[in-house]
Chains A and B, each alone.
Chain A
Amino acid sequence: MLNIKIEGIPYQVEEGLTILEAAKACGYEIPSLCAFNHGECNQGSCRVCLVEATGARGLVASCVYPVAEGMEIRISSPAAVEARRRSVELLLSNHNKNCQQCDKNGNCELLHVAQLTGARDDAFAGAHSETFIDRLAPALVRDTSKCILCGRCVERCKNAHGLGILGFENRGFNVIVSPAENRSFANSPCIQCGQCVNVCPTGALMEHSEIDKIDAAFKAGKHVIAQAAPAVRAALGEEFGYPIGTPVTGKMAAAMRRLGFERVYDVNFGADLTIMEEGTELLHRLTEGGVLPMITSCSPGWINYAEYNYGDLLPHLSSCKSPHQMQGAIIKSYWAEQHGIDPKDIFVVSVMPCVAKKFEKEREQEKVNGIPDVDAVITTRELARMIKRSGILFPRLPDEDWDADIMGDYSGAGVIFGVTGGVMEAALRTVYFKLTGKEHDPIELTAVRGHEAGIREASIDINGTTVNVAIASGMKSAKVLLDEIREGKSKYQFIEIMGCPGGCINGGGQPYVRPALLPNEPDDILDTYKEKRAQALYSEDERQVVRQSHNNPQIIELYEKYLGEPNSHKAHELLHTSYAARVGFND
């Protein structure tokens, strides 16, 4: 332990901390901006966290300067207070301050430190660097006029995926953060996962909002049907002040109903459908000598990665569409027929924890007879925006059920799709039953569970046959498993891959986790939020009566009345897709 003083008061702190971390441990939150997540990004570039420290020459950036024995730190000295304000004013002097039109407003860390430090408007009038705006990609928008060059997005892309799509380019006043050649995300091997959006402190990186499309569909008198993914319920509450990890399923259904959607459905039904199709596909591959290991195909970020980097391994991917695409296809076929509505008059909105789904729904392979399965995808954050603009007081909503006609039932297996390992567990519950004729006991297969990036593996004994499975989230982890397959060394039969580290609970469309803006969350929230959100999903699984996809009565009915059996010709037409290798830097 080290003895230090902050504002003249003695404290003992651990060795090896930065001044910023040590001060936090002692109860001081030094205004800071570019530093993020225990040094995941620590360039010390913004100079907002300047303090006085004995033994240092001049003021130091507390996010990178280590504490030392006997150090005396002054956060509130006039020189430090003035310097922090000046740092923010300098950032603001080259910032596009149209805050009222910025979708990060309310979550903007630059605005937060501007308020904390008392930064004055136009304290430094001067030139602005040239602005580049990339709105080409369906999932992401990049606006350099909002960028403070902190480098968080650069680091996150490398840490999560080993990709490094974004980098600093040019020099001096012309520096921008962008894909190589200042390309669009659409013309570079970006997987459009949105992890960069989650860490961007300002509006420089945002999801490509589709709220306008929904407004237009309502105006045009379409039958607007909404469906929400499992992981959304685990995080939407955060937008309305609930502690992280509070499931808000009932209030979410109630809120969506009040937004005017003709039906509000749970994509869990689609998840159950996915398991029926994917489980059957796996059984065929196992028993009839198909390409193994088979890899899940629910995550569009992962699909993008595979198409850009592992074109030779595409036959390993399940041909199943992702759950919301499947459900969209059923809404525009079976549901439409049952209600006597022309599919062209139906507008399907998916509420997703994901931005890559915005890209996925545009794929040619995700259309049936030229009609897209899904018309608009909005993120958890965009749903919250719609709820707020409509004056709905979320906490006061009653808990309501999803609509129940045709696709209202869902199993606990569908719920856990939202966390890494969930699709695997749901599939194994059904595959085990199909092969043995009885349910796995216990229902839970905890060996495949987790909530972080990295690789987990398990072996499941099914009627004396051992099935080896592996789970990876984040492309950095996935790459290890994929290279094994490429080298012919993979020992697995079934692999689940999710694009975002931790799975959909940590998707690029989820509410921002910004410790400085979450005063009621514990200090370690960046270490625990994924686990808390995962727990929200596992608890909903446990509350369900039906826990396996094959026992969902409406799924059984859908096959009896419409699809025939899993992997039937009809099912293939509606519920399966195809992939093609793509060139990353294309023009």
Chain B
Amino acid sequence: MGGLQAAAVAQIKEICGRYKDEKTPLMMILSDIQNEYGYIPLEVQEIVSQETGISVAEIYGVVTFYSFFSLTPKGKYVIGCCLGTACYVKGAQQVIDKFSEILKIKPGQTSEDGMFTLDALRCIGACGIAPAVTINGTVYPKMTVGQVPGIIKHYLDAEKEGATA
């Protein structure tokens, strides 16, 4: 636990304290940590374990069960490609492969510059617009392989503008 700074420890404890009166607080605590801290490494799970009395192994099990939670820092833009049945038959595999190829990362990984994380998702309930991709909450319907380079460029351009502005 030596790796965590005091401020981070205080932040995790504060988050745990929000749900003191909940019967089953774990999911809420982990969601808040994921949103506010960005990821949930083992050191953080140890603090949650101390605060809640839930074993580290059980917390680790929950973190590795849900694809929403992450053990490593996520990129600035999280690209979620749905690989549910409907999206898959409509060509989602080719779409995610294209993202993989251009960004040089496998699903589950984050690009070296920390800009993009590529996630393979199970059904996100958007079968009507299959294949669907989400990037930080923005939904891209009926994706084709041809659209992939343009979308990546859009985010890279936005970054450049942000940097010069």
Contacts and interface: CB of A to CB of B under 8 A. Distances in A.
Interface of A: 154, 158, 163-171, 178-181, 585
List the 6 closest A-B pairs by CB distance, nearest first: A164-B55, A167-B57, A180-B60, A167-B61, A168-B61, A180-B56
A531 to B, nearest CB: 30
Given A171-B64, A171-B65, A166 B42 contact: no
Contact of A585 (B46, B54, B58, B59): B46
Contact of B55 (A167, A178, A181, A585): A167
Contacts of B45: 180
Contacts of B42: 180-181, 585
Contacts of B46: 585
Given A180-B42, A181-B42, A585-B42, A165 B57 contact: yes
19 contacts: A154-B57, A158-B55, A164-B54, A164-B55, A165-B57, A167-B55, A167-B57, A169-B57, A169-B64, A170-B65, A171-B64, A171-B65, A180-B42, A180-B45, A180-B56, A180-B57, A180-B60, A181-B42, A585-B56
A60 B39 CA distance: 40
A169 B59 CA distance: 9
B64 A170 contact: yes
Contacts of B59: 180
Interface string B27-49: 00000000000000010011000
For chain B, what secondary structure do more than half of its interface residues adopt (helix, strand, loop), or is it mixed? helix
A585 B42 CA distance: 9
B33 to A, nearest CB: 16
A354 B144 CA distance: 62
Nearest to A164: B55
Contacts of A163: 55
A164 B49 CA distance: 11
A164 B57 contact: yes
Contacts of B65: 169-171
B11 to A, nearest CB: 20
A168 B42 CA distance: 15
A201 to B, nearest CB: 20
Interface string B60-83: 110011000000000000000000
Nearest to A189: B56
Given A165-B57, A167-B55, A180-B42, 7 more contacts: A167-B61, A169-B60, A170-B64, A171-B64, A178-B57, A180-B45, A180-B56
A167 B57 CA distance: 5
Contacts of A166: 57
B66 to A, nearest CB: 8
Given A585-B42, A585-B46, A179 B57 contact: yes
Contacts of A154: 57
A152 to B, nearest CB: 14
For chain A, what secondary structure do more than half of its interface residues adopt (helix, strand, loop), or is it mixed? mixed
Contacts of A167: 55-58, 60-61
Given A180-B45, A181-B42, A165 B61 contact: no
A585 B58 CA distance: 15
B84 to A, nearest CB: 14
Contacts of B64: 169-171
Nearest to B46: A585
A181 B59 CA distance: 11
Contacts of A158: 55
A485 to B, nearest CB: 19
Identify which of B46, B55, B58, B59 gathers the most chain A CB atoms within 10 Å of its CB: B55
Nearest to B43: A585
B117 to A, nearest CB: 18
A585 to B, nearest CB: 6
Contacts of A171: 64-65
Contacts of B58: 164, 167
Nearest to A170: B64
A347 B55 CA distance: 40
A180 to B, nearest CB: 4
B120 to A, nearest CB: 12
A165 B65 CA distance: 17
B24 to A, nearest CB: 16
Contacts of A165: 55, 57
Contacts of A181: 42, 60
A39 B64 CA distance: 27
B48 to A, nearest CB: 12
Contacts of A178: 57
A239 to B, nearest CB: 32
Interface in B129-164: none
B124 to A, nearest CB: 16
A351 B128 CA distance: 67
Nearest to B67: A171
Contacts of B61: 167-169
A158 B56 CA distance: 12
Nearest to A167: B57
Nearest to A181: B42
Nearest to B63: A169
Nearest to B54: A164
Nearest to B57: A167
A284 B95 CA distance: 76
Contacts of B55: 158, 163-165, 167
A211 B24 CA distance: 46
A304 to B, nearest CB: 16
A164 B56 CA distance: 7
Identify which of A154, A169, A170, A180 gathers the most chain B CB atoms within 10 Å of its CB: A180
Identify which of B42, B56, B57, B59 gathers the most chain A CB atoms within 10 Å of its CB: B57
Contacts of A180: 42, 45, 56-57, 59-60
Contacts of B60: 167, 169, 180-181
Nearest to A178: B57
